[in-house]
Amino acid sequence: MEESSVTLAVIMERMRLANKWADHRWEAIGVVPQPDDAAPGEARVVVDERDCTHWLFPGFALRLRADEAEDYLLNVTAAEPRVFVVWRMDGELARPAWVTASYGSAARTLDAGEHVDGAPMPATLREWVEAFARAHYRPPEKKGRFAATRHA
């Protein structure tokens, strides 16, 4: 199976809420190319304001697999292509677990009860995903009108 990958950093946002049931919420709001000075696993605060904090989590491989080319094409040809970020709570910190550009993979993970956010896909990343998807997409085989011959 042919694969290709690129390393990204995920930006997670912690937003303060005025709510009696929760004092904040987490959301994956972006992905950026892996910074040269970032070590995988070393999260750091990049924005720290009164009601909002952004954390940068480096070291996530966005792997493209040939057998998911159709899902990538569905994503990159949508009005707003996304990189889907699966994340989990680790104490008080929301940590990304992995990233994907596949609608199908994201939907299955969401159906399994995981946190999945769709962060905007940068244009250069979209071009790379689209080129890979078009190179590996194979239309489904058309089946005949009748799958089996009926005998009387």
Residue 148 lies in a domain: no
Q: Measure CA 87 to chain center.
A: 10
pLDDT tens for 119-141 read 999 999 999 999 999 999 988 87
Residue 147 lies in a domain: no
The residue-averaged pLDDT of 54-59 equals 95
When divided into structural domains, the chain yields a total of 1
Residue 53 lies in a domain: yes
Residue 151 lies in a domain: no
Range of the domain at 21: 3-136
Residue 66 CA: distances (Å) to CA of 15, 60, 63, 69, 136: 37, 19, 10, 5, 5
Residue 143 lies in a domain: no
pLDDT score, position 146: 60
The residue-averaged pLDDT of 99-118 equals 96
